[in-house]
Amino acid sequence: GQQLNQSPQSMFIQEGEDVSMNCTSSSIFNTWLWYKQDPGEGPVLLIALYKAGELTSNGRLTAQFGITRKDSFLNISASIPSDVGIYFCAGQLQRSGGYQKVTFGTGTKLQVIP
C-alpha cells in the first residue's frame, strides 16, 4: 500500500534546539494530520490541517500544509526531554460519503539529549 515519505527517519538533538521534519506524497491530500507516539503508547493527534497553505500552531509546535497539497512540515521549537517519541504524518483525501483512507508516514524518531 501507499506510504508517505517522511524524513528524517530519526534524529538526536540537544535540549533547547529547534526541530524540523517533513512529509511528502506523490498524490494530493486535503487533510494533513500530525501525531506523536510516546514510548509504549498509541499515537495522539498534535495538529490537524485542512487547507493548502495553512499554518497552524499548538504551543511550541507549528505545522504547515504545503501549497501543492503533496507535503507538510512540522517544526518543534526549543525542544525539551518530553518531546521524545515518534512523530507520524498522515494524509487524507476527504470526500463526501463513506470512509476516506488515511495514509500514514513511516515516522520520525526523535531523541532529545538533556
Query: What is the binding site for another protein (CB under 8 A)?
Result: 1, 3-4, 6, 9, 31, 33, 35, 40-45, 48, 50, 88, 92, 94-102, 104-107
Cell of 38: 510516546
- The least distance separating another protein from the CB of residue 10, rounded to whole angstroms, comes to 10
- Nearest Cα to Cα of residue 37 among 70, 6, 72: 6
- The least distance separating another protein from the CB of residue 101, rounded to whole angstroms, comes to 8
In this structure, are residues 33 and 90 in contact, taking their beta carbons and an 8 Å threshold?
yes
Cα distances (angstroms) measured from residue 20 to each of 1, 41, 77, 93? 26, 23, 9, 24
Of 45 and 55, nearer to another protein (C-beta) is 45
- The least distance separating another protein from the CB of residue 17, rounded to whole angstroms, comes to 25
Cell of 47: 495538529
Of 5 and 18, nearer to another protein (C-beta) is 5
Q: How far apart are CA 114 and CA 96, in angstroms?
A: 47
- The least distance separating another protein from the CB of residue 29, rounded to whole angstroms, comes to 12
Of 59 and 99, nearer to another protein (C-beta) is 99
